Amino acid sequence: QQKVQQSPESLTVSEGAMASLNCTFSDGTSNNFRWYRQHSAKGLEVLVSIFSDGEKEEGRFTAHLNRANLHVSLHIREPQPSDSAVYLCAVSTYNVLYFGSGTKLTVEP
C-alpha cells in the first residue's frame, strides 16, 4: 500500500515569502500526484495535479515531481494570510487517493 509522508508538520511564513512543502511516497509506479488544501471545517480544494517528472504551475502554486527520488513538493509564491490552511499531498494509485497527514501552513501579515 502506498505510504505518503509530508514535512514539515507545520510551517509559519511571512506574507509574501515563498512557502515550500515536501512530500515523499513509497511506490514510484503511481502516475499522478496532487496537492489539496483544507481550510478548517471545509472540504478539500485541489491546487495542482502533476503526472510527469518536472514542474507544473497553477497560478501561485508550483509542484515539482521527482519520481526517482519518490518526492513531490509544492511551492507557494507570495502567500497571503488567506492561504493559511492544511496542505495535503495525495498520490493516486488505481483510482484511490493516498494522503499524507498534512502540513499546517500559517501565513502571518
Partner 1 sequence: NSKVIQTPRYLVKGQGQKAKMRCIPEKGHPVVFWYQQNKNNEFKFLINFQNQEVLQQIDMTEKRFSAECPSNSPCSLEIQSSEAGDSALYLCASSPGTGVYEQYFGPGTRLTVL
Where on the chain is the footprint of partner 1 (CB under 8 A)? 31-32, 34, 36, 41-46, 49, 51, 86, 88, 92, 94-99, 101-102
CB 74 within 8 A of CB 20: yes
With contact defined as beta carbons under 8 Å apart, do 25 and 8 qualify? no
- Closest to partner 1 by CB, 59 vs 109, is 59
Smallest distance from partner 1 to CB 92, Å: 8
Shortest distance, position 44 Cβ to partner 1, whole Å: 4
What's the closest the beta carbon of residue 101 comes to partner 1, in angstroms? Answer: 5
